[in-house]
Chains A and B, each alone.
Chain A
Amino acid sequence: MTILELKNASVSFGGVKAIENVSFSMEEGEVLSIVGPNGAGKTTLFNLISKIYDLDSGSIIFDDIELISTPPHEIAKLGIARTFQNTELFEHESVLNNLLIGSHVHAKTNLLHELFFLRKARDQELIFRKNAENIIDLLDLQSYRNTKIVSLPFGIRKLVEIGRALCLEPKLVLLDEPSSGLNPEETEDLVFQIEDIKEELAISILMIEHDMNLVSKASDRVIALADGKVLTIGKSQEVQEHPEVIKAYLG
């Protein structure tokens, strides 16, 4: 079943066509990587899907729902979670509180429950806490549970951000360069973590990645993007040998 489909998506900023007629579709349970040189429009694509930017033309369909008129904060409720290239964590909060934020979309308490911390709010907190603990176990974050983000190294922050996205219990997660800032060993671990997310949590993954080793190990298909246009879509090996892709990277 198709989980995400872009049809002729275009957006331009002034005279720059950041994304031009991009169409692709993604199957449920798939790991799809986006590669491309700097300025190809990869992050713009993510911002379009998470509605930080609005499309100029075309359409984005997620889980049979058209996203054009969805406000950005509703995207998470539909089941799309994302991470950011340079991490956008809540820096003065502990890892645990960051993960709990991920559960926000599942909150069913109203203001009254929260002001007086009634039973419903209390029970809900326990469920959120348990959910966060599962993610902590999955990503091996136990020793950082109560550490504030400001005092964590970048590699761990990246992981916390993935964890926060997973706490949302999404159907699709968008990872923006998960391996940037990680050392080779951590990148190796990331391959297994991505596999875990895919197999254990049954979440589809769309990721932007530069590390071709990670891309070929972790992803099912690869999209090559340059100057806002799709060059080719296919298996990692095919994409790497595609003449247009080589031209885009080497000029």
Chain B
Amino acid sequence: MRFIRKTNYHQDIQIFKHDGQIFWYTCLMLILLSFPFFLSDFYLGELALIFIYAIAGIGLMLLTGYTGLVSLGHAAFLGIGAYTHSYFLGLGIPFVFSLSISVLFSSLIGTLLAIPALRVTGIYLAVATLAFSIIVEQILSHWVSVTGGYRGMLVPDPSIGNLSLKPNTTFYFVCLIFVSSSVLISLNILRSPLGRAMTAVRDSEISAQSMGINLARTKTIAFAISAGFTGLAGGLLAHKIGYLAPDSFNLLISIQLLLMVVVGGLGSLHGAIYGAIFIGFLPQALALLRDNLPEKFAQIPGLEPGIFGLILVAVLIYEPLGIYGRWLKIRSFFEEFPLYRRSTHKRQRNFLKTERLR
């Protein structure tokens, strides 16, 4: 077991709590940086996709995992980000600016969504955001002059100056830069008053209010930041998809995003990343499953959403804290090796606070 001797308040606000963490995260970064030198193009593309999912996951984690606001409409922000980015890219605006515009525009829409969404909590909020994503999908398919409607929209190739970002290797590095800065920014949020206000709102609105936290402001900012991250992910995702259509951002994607944060582990940034890895490998696993199932089952049209649903329910029942929660248990098993007791992590009966009558 590791005991950290603290001699200084700085130790509490540092991102890396001890030397071991610095060592391991540096190793991770080095491995990620070295991947392009020995992995094939296909795997780099898949990894870039996982990074993009991770950015969206971080966005949704800040909203759902930390502020306790469930959103079933995050695919809409992904769509808004993707369409805005490729629209401005098409106008000849440079990559970085166009991406920034799409982040800001998604945040703005997130802020606007927050205004009505503040009045509802829990399941009602989930339904409200679901409605929002349907509205966005309709706008995307009918605002033909901008989005091209059902014909779709070709995403221009990304480039900075003369450097094309299209090759998988370059795009991999672009995504790596964005995912690491997203992690850094969200860590900063979480260790500052805003992050604490968010968890306070999640755990008890009434006492958050009595501690001087402006509920409306905190929730609105959470929505804006979350939408911004998801918009960024959308902008990057546009290049992976190549050709945007309104139904690329439907309910199934929203559910996938929610699945990602729940399976990864609500209330931890690690969870968002683990969830992204999980979602990234899921299509391959499903394809394998389809191949091995009897013909009759493999051709069922709604197989994928059905399996998503099954996984979600299974995780909620057997490991509500997701992959990260399981990892914590495994870690403490090794830390306390001969003395580990199962009951350390025995779950108490839990009620969702937002569902309480007030």
What is A's interface to B at a CB cutoff of 8 Å?
50, 52, 72-77, 81-82, 84, 88-93, 96-97, 100-105, 107, 109, 111, 113-117, 121-122, 124-126, 129-130, 133, 150, 164, 168
Contact: A168 with B212, CB < 8 Å? yes
Contact: B9 with A101, CB < 8 Å? no
Complex: chain B residue closest to A128, CB-CB = B193
Contact: B213 with A104, CB < 8 Å? yes
Contact: A90 with B204, CB < 8 Å? yes
CA distance A126 to B191 in the complex (A): 12
Show 25 residue pairs from A and B whose CB-CB distance is below 8 angstroms, ordered by the A residue: A73-B209, A73-B212, A73-B213, A73-B215, A74-B212, A75-B210, A82-B210, A84-B207, A88-B204, A88-B210, A91-B203, A92-B203, A101-B197, A101-B208, A104-B197, A105-B212, A114-B189, A114-B192, A115-B189, A116-B188, A117-B191, A125-B9, A126-B10, A129-B12, A129-B13
Contact: A114 with B193, CB < 8 Å? yes
CA distance A88 to B213 in the complex (A): 14
Contact: A122 with B194, CB < 8 Å? no
Chain B hits for A75, CB < 8 A: 210, 212
What are the interface flags for B168-201 relative to A under an 8 Å C-beta threshold, 1 for contact and 0 otherwise?
A: 0000000000000000010011011111110110
B267 at the A interface (CB under 8 A) = yes
Instruction: Specify the main secondary structure of chain B where it touches its partner.
Output: helix
CA distance A52 to B192 in the complex (A): 26
Given A117-B192, A125-B191, A129-B13, residue A89 in contact with residue B210 (CB < 8 A):
no
Complex: chain B residue closest to A129, CB-CB = B9
Chain B hits for A103, CB < 8 A: 193
Given A52-B206, A114-B193, residue A122 in contact with residue B13 (CB < 8 A):
yes
Contact: B210 with A90, CB < 8 Å? no
Contact: B207 with A89, CB < 8 Å? yes
B40 at the A interface (CB under 8 A) = no
Chain A hits for B200, CB < 8 A: 90, 101, 104
Contact: A164 with B211, CB < 8 Å? yes
Given contacts A117-B192, A126-B13, 17 further A-B contacts (CB under 8 A): A52-B210, A72-B209, A75-B210, A76-B212, A77-B212, A88-B204, A90-B204, A92-B199, A101-B208, A101-B211, A111-B194, A115-B189, A117-B188, A121-B188, A121-B192, A125-B191, A126-B9
Chain A hits for B188, CB < 8 A: 114-117, 121
B348 at the A interface (CB under 8 A) = yes
CA distance A55 to B214 in the complex (A): 21
CA distance A52 to B188 in the complex (A): 31
Contact: A92 with B185, CB < 8 Å? no
Contact: B203 with A89, CB < 8 Å? yes
B221 at the A interface (CB under 8 A) = yes
Chain A hits for B195, CB < 8 A: 114
Given A77-B212, A126-B10, residue A88 in contact with residue B192 (CB < 8 A):
no
A97 contact from B199, B209, B213, Cβ within 8 A: B199
Complex: chain B residue closest to A74, CB-CB = B212
Given A109-B193, A126-B10, residue A93 in contact with residue B211 (CB < 8 A):
no
Q: Which 6 A-B pairs have the closest CB atoms?
A: A76-B212, A88-B207, A105-B212, A114-B192, A90-B203, A117-B188
B267 contact from A92, A102, A121, Cβ within 8 A: A92
Interface centre among B9, B207, B208 (most CB of A within 10 A): B207
CA distance A97 to B12 in the complex (A): 11
B348 contact from A50, A74, A150, Cβ within 8 A: A150
Contact: B209 with A52, CB < 8 Å? yes
The smallest beta-carbon distance between B30 and chain A, in angstroms, is 24
Contact: B192 with A125, CB < 8 Å? yes
Task: Kindly identify, within residues 206 to 234 of chain B, every residue whose CB is under 8 Å from any CB belonging to chain A.
Answer: 206-215, 221
Chain A hits for B12, CB < 8 A: 96, 129
Contact: B221 with A111, CB < 8 Å? yes
Contact: A114 with B194, CB < 8 Å? yes
The smallest beta-carbon distance between B185 and chain A, in angstroms, is 5
Complex: chain A residue closest to B206, CB-CB = A88
Complex: chain A residue closest to B192, CB-CB = A114
CA distance A84 to B204 in the complex (A): 11
CA distance A100 to B191 in the complex (A): 11
CA distance A150 to B204 in the complex (A): 13
